Structure 1
């Protein structure tokens, strides 16, 4: 009897060794694939069974039960991370499972540029092939509601930056992140603002930052430009800044700003209306936010472009007119 039990025990060990060897061979053998690389997306809350089906449907020659059993054996069957994935030929079931539990998702990116309007942002969002376009065609106020923002007007409320995201993410998620980033930067800069600024709240500072952003691309000129506009606000002068007029014209602007445009009254015409326009006119970058909240201490109330990207700043109208003749009229009187 003992010999029989011993033989059975040995046989069980042999079978177990064979099964273990087979399992090791299976999990370390590259998965067959119909293409060099396949993409698939795991939805939040997916079971291991649905994950396996998604992967095989994408073109992996993988028996679903293999991944299910491996997940249970490794006790990670409930640890799969949602997201978009890419796998290439040569990947093994074990490597695949590790990838899924690490959340090693593929990422795409999208860049929002300083000075863009919300319309330009939406065009870039709608054209991105890796995003899920949930906001296409929606009115602006509805988009703001979807991202949980209290404002009804979107202009200037998104921070320009490079954003990485899992493929097939919703554009709502991306806009929410960009809105949150701007709120954080604005709150921090507002808290550290210089004393005595002529802004009623952080939103007015954001409006000013958007004007600075459109007026100059030179980092060393931004505080001076902001200083000029702050001086004008304090003295009750008209801001008289062309970018606000252009923004107010909208699609009617053909690239050539005419005298009649400067005389045509709109809420954004700072040649006809005192103070700041009602909303930002673009996305300001961090440099413009900082300039608006830490403007240069200057006596200048005028500036004109030199033609090389920089600006000449003047304290008096006579000096300004001379600078205009010098830099914009080729020295003509």
Structure 2
């Protein structure tokens, strides 16, 4: 009788162990199954969501196959319950466990928006409007309202943001990006101003920024920035008008159609440096760090003029006679290409 009882106990224990192993293996198969995705997909985990919420979401979207043992996942894998709030990227190569691990790590999906040096605030706003997963808080705001929201003292925002690539997460806003871009600009501008040359014809950091924006629009050749800066600094020092086309174009606004006519050069706008003395009232674009540094550390030169060389750079001259020759040579090259 005792032997039969012991045998029954052994059988029941074996069944119990076998059942436990089966359940455990089933749970393992469930969490290790590959996601049924054909392309990367975003998932947003909101406050209050749990592991069960995520499993229901994955099953509902048919990203994973359901199992009657889903409720036991947290028992065998309690570490999978420590999920974070945010938006995360699911990749087709992931298993369900790897996807949950990514959520637990809290590494939110990062998007990027790139602003090129020399772009304008108007162009930035157009990029913001087309940016994916970015909250558009500034769409109905004018520049003055945006400036107030950002705590910027200037009503015109041109030039007050550093042009580069900014990463953001789903749920961030255009104001968030602008705050970071303005902080970076202020840091670069302050550091450059501290390293400025003596006796520059610039009263403050903002004037350096205005000059930097003109330099940015005048040349895309890195080796020329300090020389271009020297031309404008030399002109400012002797009270000579800057006479730079990009400021005329900026002053024309939407009326600019790709051509500058004689009447445009004579038009009295606040930005027409053929008419006004000194610098325009604001920057005309978003300068990069190199142009800002060039504005306060120009090359030591006697150049007062420059014109396009026709080969990508510029020809610099110390007097009007040489400049006129360079202009004629440039025009000759243009005619030869027609």
- Would you say same fold, with TM above 0.5? yes
Q: Residue 70 of structure 1: SS of its match in structure 2? A: helix
Match of 1:39 among 34, 41, 45: 41
- In structure 2, the CA distance between the partners of 1:191 and 1:36, relative to structure 1 (3 Å rule), is same
Where structure 1 has 5 or more consecutive residues not aligned to the other structure, the ranges are none
Q: Name structure 2 gaps, 5 residues minimum.
A: none
Q: How many residues in Structure 1 have an aligned counterpart in Structure 2? A: 329
Structure 1 residue aligned with 2:241: 238
Distance across 2 between alignment mates of 1:11 and 1:275: 93
Kindly indicate whether the alpha-carbon contact (under 8 Å) linking 2:27 and 2:72 is maintained by their aligned counterparts in 1.
no
| 2:84 partner SS | coil
Picking from 83, 89, 105, the partner of 1:102 is 105
In the aligned structure 2, how far is the partner of 1:146 from the partner of 1:203?
Answer: 20
Equivalent residues in 2 for 1:100-249, closer than 5 Å: 100-167=103-170, 169-249=172-252
2:38 matches 1:27: no
Residue 282 of structure 2 is aligned to residue 279 of structure 1: yes
Cα 1:99–1:3 change in 2 (3 A) is: same
TM-align CA RMSD: 3.3
Aligned-pair distance for 1:15?
4.9
1:212-251 CA distance string (max 9 Å, x none): 0111111111111101111111212211111111101101
Q: Establish whether residue 92 from structure 1 lines up as the match of residue 115 from structure 2.
A: no
Give the greater-gyration-radius structure (CA). 2
Q: Say if 2:322 is the partner of 1:307.
A: no
CA distance in 2: counterparts of 1:163 and 1:16, whole angstroms: 51
Q: TM-score, normalised by structure 2?
A: 0.83
Selected match of 1:262 from 253, 259, 265 = 265
TM-score (norm 1): 0.84
* C-alpha deviation, 1:124, in angstroms: 1.9
CA distance in 1, matches of 2:154, 2:201: 22
Mark the CA change 1:310 to 1:36 in structure 2 (over 3 Å): closer, same or farther.
closer
Partner residue of 2:63?
Answer: 60
